[in-house]
Amino acid sequence: MKNKAIDKEVGIELLESESKTEDLILFDNTDKPFLVLYLFIFIFGIILTVISI
């Protein structure tokens, strides 16, 4: 009985640690289109700034 309780606690700790590592991921694949768009706008802004000078 005691071993099962310990196994449950270890399992819960493992699940919590997995969710914490998922939170540490900076960019997912869902963020990729937004990052590409942001990069394009940033480069386009630099080009327009250089042209206007």
Tens-digit pLDDT profile for the chain (53 aa)?
555 555 555 555 555 555 666 666 776 777 888 999 999 999 999 999 999 98
Which SS3 state, helix, strand or coil, does residue 44 take? helix
- What pLDDT was estimated at residue 47? 97
Q: What residues have CB less than 8 Å from 35, skipping those under 6 apart?
A: 27
Domain hosting 30: range is: 2-52
Q: What is the tally of structural domains in the chain? A: 1
- What pLDDT was estimated at residue 48? 96
